[in-house]
Amino acid sequence: MKSVINKRNPYIIGRSIDEPELFFGRESLFRFIEDNLNNNQKVILLHGQRRTGKSSVLQQIPKMVNLGNKFVFILSDFQDKSQWSVYQIIYKLAQEIFEHLEISTNDLASIQDLEQDADKFSQLLNPIFQQLGNRNLVLLLDEFDVLNSNNNDSGFEEFFGYLKRIVFQEKQLFIIPVVGRRLSDMPKLLELFKGAPHLRIGLLDRLSTQRLITRPVMGLLQYNERAINEIIKLSAGHPYFTQAICYALFAQAREKGKGEILASDVDRVIDNAIELSEAGLVWFREGLLIPERVVFSAAAVAQEKARQKMSPPEDPLKLLTTIGVNIEQLRQAQQNLIDNDFLDADGNRVTVEFVRRWFVKYYPLQSQIWELEKLDPEADYYYERANIWKNRGNIDDELYHYRKALELNPNHFSALFRLAEAYRRNQTFPEALELYERAYKINPQRVEEKYIESLLGYGDKFSQNYRLLERNFSLVKRLYERVLEIDPKNTEVLEKLELLKAKEKYINIPVSDDKKSKQIPISLLILTAALAVPLLIGIGIFVGLKLQPVPDYLSGRLDWKQIRERFSSGERTLFDKTINENYNDKFLSCNQKFKNKNYDEAGNCFQELVNANRNEPEPLIYYNNSLARKLDNPLTIAVVVPVDKNSERAKAILRGVAQAQNEHNQSKYFSPTVRSVEIIIANDSNDDKVSPKVAQGIVTNQEILGVIGHNSSNATKAALKVYEKEKLPVISSTSTSTELKSDTFFRTVIDNSVLSKKLAEYVQSLPIEKIVIFYNQQSSFSKIIKEFFEFYLKGLKPSIQVKSIYLKQPFFDINKELRVAADNQVNVGMIFSDLSTIDLAIKIAIANYTLPENQKLRLLGGDTLYNCETLNKGQQAVKGLILAVPWFKKLPTAKPFVDRAIGQWGGEVGWRTATSYDAAKAFIYALSKSGDNPSRSTVLKRLKEVNLQSNETSGQNLRFNPDGETTGQAILVEVFESENPACSNLDFRLVEE
């Protein structure tokens, strides 16, 4: 036998094999290709795992497929061409064919020609087939899956369709595409090659693997039978990894001058072989989806543990459960790995031992599981929002967003850890401990200290009260014992247990019960305690009913007659009849016709009211309701407004809803498939005691599929609990408080945080050091916008001094407060009034106007002051007032809507009309996308998909983020004296920032 010392290493790593003498196996595959080409199959699809020798197979097809002289094979590699245009691909393909057949490329069309006429490629086939004569052309397309782009702009769908058309047009043209991904991951490709025969290029059989090991070194090196068995055990017949191991063995033998490979030699080269095949191993791993990587890694670890214990491996999903992973989203991943031969049929063993060892060494399971956080971008969104609320110190919002993140992705471990900590800070111990128990499995070192604090905190909560300790002795003892399981030397808990033992003889608790507690897992005790808390609260509510009466809307005690009077589809007018006597009489007549279900006459009657009173939205809504009931079975939504407390604001909202309804219902005449929309108006008086009762009345009417409202944040907040319970979708067009949150809640007006941030950014740019804030601490809107403003301003300008003044404090003296501000050289006044304090806000502006010029405050405020009332009452005192608002009529994108609104109402409209129009448009979109029989649940689902362009809304693109918030921006406007005033002699204009 010759020495290997001066011989080149014959094993090949990293390139395809075109030498027939170095290629082994795949005989059945080549016969498969022969049979299908003989049967005139135009497309044969080959696929397989990465690095299983697919490119080498293509190289060997012309040499191994025995079809006489009937076929000519041409190889084209699509690797690195994923960014090419369809015309570049076609041109390259034609060029390769011309060159292979030695046809002059002078007649080859240019890329520019192909861009103008793609059919020039089929014209180019004529000289090709002339050259071929009776022979057929087979295109071997390597790395074809790089063209399977999910980007519809890539143009490759066009290429797929074009290629399919050419292949089936030309009798002499055949293709054999090869892909390195699972067919189930490539729907476009499967659709293209539907019905085409396909075969997986899998692992080599034992005989082929043995030939691959021994033949390249025949006469140079011998392999002991046990060594061959060890190599096959490691590689499982995977050609790439078999080559890598043998390459390392040959190099070792050459270095040591050996002529025989033993089993012990194989074990010594594994690390070197892993290093040699690193690129292929990384590529192998990247071919797996994240859930598959985690399950694969768990299987690798389970096998390692089994190997050390000489026992069967544990189910990888069971192993993942023991380290805190939620496995529901991983079950399909395990099945995918089984189906594609990455795991054995039981799903417990990695098929290729060589790859398993690499995973164990370089990808520890405890780090791999964190990749699961990437599975749901929406969960990341909620997690980031939760962190913002954490920084602001708002525990309720923080908890809500962490919970939402964990609900969307149960394996968002960062959210899990943060939520546990938030519950601990909030002293909500049962929930904190349940999460810490799982977090401790994931990363014991990270949570040990806080977990122990929670266990002790919860135990102390009971142990410091005799009666509570008597009822919960077993739980307290088990909590302390759990601390010792985590930290056996914890002196604090040892002392507590001693004290507990001393108290035990004075506490009436059965000994057997205490013994049983030792058998109960801490997680079960925590869950039991968590369930007991609501029960105790319920008992407390029952005992204290006289002190805390259950609200009527929760107990079901409603005065339905009074509630019914607050609703109308056309049966009554909800507004005071103050326009004129003829209008009032006419309205009553129209109402009676509607009540009598004479919808044709009612429609004509309401139309007369509309024509005579263009600016009134109520008759236009009832006119459309009459037509809707006359023509078909309409889809119904409700709109809730403060009719009797602020009729002008109520009408502003109704104008937007009425305009959207009218535009939609008129479209029915152009499309018979369109279903009309009916609007039910409800009056909640802007009262948070009344709004839940109105909401209860709405949810009991199953025909109502959505709600627009309520107007004020306080009224909306009170009603939202009712809607949430019944899963009825709500869109608010005017309530801006960030406290409004629910899975059923959306809003078309930007929230307080967006408005306040805009104001803070403007104020920080001013050369000032002191500001004063006027706000109503009793109002959710006013309080929240003030808190957000301070948060943003302090972040932008930490040195600024802020003083807050309550607008509703007893004996509020405006002039005194302004004098104090002037004495302290305060420069800016922020007016965050709610609806109930608008008059006070205007009085502040008037009092400020009377001060000497050098003592006046520069005034800024929120959108509650963005109306004619402010201008008419404030006059010269509000000139220069700057407001952050959600919509502005003079934005270019708003012009189409404004023009339509002026045509409809005979005058300009404000932001409440605009955002209410958008709310109605969103509901109309959702209703139209909800099928023939929309339900509340389908409408809720479709609202999350709303995507309206600016020309379909009041001027801004309308989409809702996962929190249900609109993605719009705040706008700064300033009061100025105008030649064409909107109100009095004043108007608003954009602030130049």
- Selection from 36, 31, 42 nearest residue 65 by Cα: 31
Q: What is the pLDDT of residue 169?
A: 81
Q: What is the pLDDT of residue 774?
A: 94
Kindly indicate the confidence band of residue 72, based on its pLDDT and cuts at 50, 70 and 90: very high
Residue 558 pLDDT > 60, yes or no? no
Rounded to the nearest integer, the mean pLDDT of the chain is: 85
- Highest mean pLDDT among 426-430, 487-491, 658-662, 790-794 belongs to 658-662
Residue 67 pLDDT > 90, yes or no? no
Per-state percent for the chain, helix, strand, coil, to nearest 5: 55, 10, 30
- Selection from 954, 979, 983 nearest residue 968 by Cα: 954
Looking at this protein, which amino acid is placed at residue 71?
F
Kindly indicate the confidence band of residue 736, based on its pLDDT and cuts at 50, 70 and 90: confident
Residue 755 pLDDT > 50, yes or no? yes
What would the pLDDT profile of 756-780 be if each residue is shown by its tens digit?
A: 999 999 999 999 999 999 999 888 7
Q: What is the pLDDT of residue 540?
A: 37
Q: What is the pLDDT of residue 669?
A: 60
What would the pLDDT profile of 268-281 be if each residue is shown by its tens digit?
A: 999 999 988 888 88
Q: What is the pLDDT of residue 199?
A: 87
Q: Span 44-51, mean pLDDT?
A: 81
What would the pLDDT profile of 239-287 be if each residue is shown by its tens digit?
A: 999 999 999 999 999 988 889 999 999 999 999 999 888 888 887 888 8
Per the DSSP assignment, residues forming a β-bridge with 975 are 988
Instruction: Output Rg (C-alpha) for the chain, integer angstroms.
Output: 38
What would the pLDDT profile of 194-226 be if each residue is shown by its tens digit?
A: 778 888 888 898 999 999 999 999 988 999 999
Q: Span 676-700, mean pLDDT?
A: 93
Q: Span 796-823, mean pLDDT?
A: 87
- Highest mean pLDDT among 1-10, 439-448, 789-798 belongs to 439-448
Residue 522 pLDDT > 90, yes or no? no
What would the pLDDT profile of 900-925 be if each residue is shown by its tens digit?
A: 999 999 888 889 999 999 999 999 99
For residues 933 and 189, the model is more confident at 933
As a whole number of angstroms, the distance between CA 357 and CA 303 comes to: 10
As a whole number of angstroms, the distance between CA 971 and CA 891 comes to: 10
Q: Which pair of tokens denotes residue 459?
A: 């135990």
Q: Span 833-855, mean pLDDT?
A: 91
3-state class (DSSP) for residue 217:
helix
What would the pLDDT profile of 110-125 be if each residue is shown by its tens digit?
A: 666 666 665 666 667 7
Residue 192 pLDDT > 80, yes or no? no
Buried (b) or exposed (e) across 601-610, using 16+ Cβ within 10 A? bbbebbbebb
Q: What is the pLDDT of residue 509?
A: 55
Residue 538 pLDDT > 90, yes or no? no
3-state class (DSSP) for residue 885:
strand
Q: What is the pLDDT of residue 778?
A: 83
| Residue with the two structure tokens 């104090």 | 820
Provide the 10 A C-beta neighbour count for residue 653: 29
For residues 373 and 528, the model is more confident at 373
What would the pLDDT profile of 129-169 be if each residue is shown by its tens digit?
A: 888 888 999 999 887 665 554 444 344 556 666 777 788 88
Residue 518 pLDDT > 60, yes or no? no
Segment 148-157 long-range contacts (CB within 8 Å, at least 24 positions apart): 148/179, 148/181, 148/186, 148/188, 148/189, 149/82, 154/82, 155/85, 155/86, 156/86, 157/188
Per the DSSP assignment, residues forming a β-bridge with 704 are 636
Cβ(147)–Cβ(81) below 8 Å: yes
Segment 515-521 long-range contacts (CB within 8 Å, at least 24 positions apart): 516/474, 517/474, 517/475, 517/477, 517/478, 518/478, 518/481, 520/474, 520/478
What would the pLDDT profile of 92-104 be if each residue is shown by its tens digit?
A: 888 888 888 888 7
As a whole number of angstroms, the distance between CA 697 and CA 567 comes to: 9
Q: Span 705-711, mean pLDDT?
A: 94
As a whole number of angstroms, the distance between CA 296 and CA 371 comes to: 13
- Selection from 815, 792, 820 nearest residue 804 by Cα: 820
Q: Span 661-683, mean pLDDT?
A: 85
Q: What is the pLDDT of residue 974?
A: 94
Alpha-carbon separation of residue 993 from 353, 568, 763, 862, 882 (angstroms): 65, 45, 11, 17, 12
Q: Among 54-63, 292-301, 515-524, where is mean pLDDT lowest?
A: 515-524
